[in-house]
Structures are given as C-alpha cells and as structure tokens.
A and B are shown apart, each in its own frame.
Chain A
C-alpha cells in the first residue's frame, strides 16, 4: 500500500517561496496508474487542489495558482516537490500530498499533511 510523507519548512516569510517535498514508499512513483498531487487546506476552510505531476514530468495546475506554482518529480528519489512563489498570509494552510489514481480520478492515498504558516 502506498505511503506518502510531506516534508519542508513550517514557516515561510511573505514574498518568499514555499518549498515542500513528498516522499513515496510502498509503490513506484513511476507507476503508469498514478499522478502525484498537492492539495491544501487553510485553517478552518475547505480543500483546494493545487496541481499534479506524472512520472514523465507532465504537469497540471489549478488555474487560480498556475502563475505561482511549480511541481517537479525526482523518480530516482521517489519524490515529488511543490514550489509556491510570492507567498502571502493567504497561503497559510495544511499542505497534503496524495496519489491521484488515473483511471478513477480520485486521490486515494494521502500524506498526513504538513502545516505551513506564512509570517514574518
């Protein structure tokens, strides 16, 4: 069974770049059955899909965040990463990574989530 684990700084200054990494275990990040996605949840609010990446490097981003988001993959390390630039307090959230099953279009395995606060 897939396991995902987020890692990265819990505090980022305004205008800087938020960087997180997700490590995948229990399966291959190069599986043709999965995309790998990032989702966030501001405190007390709902879920927002940020974007996803295929092992080949193909990416898809939420149009509302597209200008600030970069998702990359390192298959040799079984990791994929999120960079969100020019952050503001509105980017404060719990950030989740998840496996995005290709055939049924669902997020079936999730990391535990990592809280990120944007503050000076």
Chain B
C-alpha cells in the first residue's frame, strides 16, 4: 500500500507570498498525483491532476510539478481565498491514498 507524506503540516504565510507544499510517495506513482483544496465545512475541490495539469476553472496561480515520488504544489501569489487545507492524493492500481494535509494559515 502506497503511503503519502505531505510537508509541512502547517504553513503560515501572507497575502502575496509564494508558497510551496511537498508531497512524497513511498514508491513511484509516475504522475498519478492530484491536489485538492478544502475549506472548513466544505467538500474538497480538485486543483491539479496528473501532477501538473490545472483543473478547469482553477486560477493559474496554482501549479503542480513532479513525478515518481516527489511532487510539489505552488501558489505563486497567495490570495485571501487561498487560506485553506491542501491534500495530495495518489492513484495506483485502482486504489486512492491521501496525504495527511497541509493547513495554510494567515501570518
């Protein structure tokens, strides 16, 4: 079973900052990695799929990169609406696994 490890668990930043969240897989998952944003009391929303493809309707300040076991989500210039919890999700052999989440807080 593939494990996903996100870092950091919490990230404090300011509006306008560039931030990066990392996700590491316990074994290679090629590019089968997605990123989600979740706000309190709401269902998650997919931001990035196949490691680097931007989901329709998602602002271009969000970007993803990586392959194999190391992946990153970057927000180029934080907006007030971006303060939320972010999860990575891998897919392997019809099974999904999420990372433990990164809470992005206002500094």
Residues of A at the B interface (CB closer than 8 Å) are 37, 46-49, 52, 60, 62-64, 96, 98, 100, 104-108, 110-113
- In this complex, the member of A47, A63, A111, A112 whose beta carbon has the largest number of chain B beta carbons within 10 angstroms is A47
- Asked if residues A104 and B43 are in contact (CB atoms below 8 Å), the reply is no
State how many angstroms separate the Cβ of A82 from the closest Cβ of chain B: 15
A residues less than 8 Å from B46 (CB atoms): 106-108
B residues less than 8 Å from A105 (CB atoms): 32, 34, 49, 91, 96
Task: Specify the chain B residue showing the minimal Cβ separation from A112.
Answer: B43
Chain B residues bordering chain A, tally (CB within 8 A): 24
B residues less than 8 Å from A110 (CB atoms): 43-45
- Asked if residues B101 and A46 are in contact (CB atoms below 8 Å), the reply is yes
- Asked if residues B101 and A63 are in contact (CB atoms below 8 Å), the reply is no
Residues of B at the A interface (CB closer than 8 Å) are 1, 32, 34, 36, 38, 43-46, 49-50, 53, 55, 87, 89, 91, 94-101
B residues less than 8 Å from A37 (CB atoms): 96
Contacting B1 at CB < 8 Å: which of A47, A63, A96, A107? A63
Contacting B44 at CB < 8 Å: which of A63, A64, A100, A107? A107
- Asked if residues B49 and A104 are in contact (CB atoms below 8 Å), the reply is yes
Other than the given A48-B98, A104-B53, 8 more pairs (CB < 8 A) read A46-B100, A60-B94, A98-B43, A104-B50, A105-B91, A105-B96, A107-B89, A110-B45
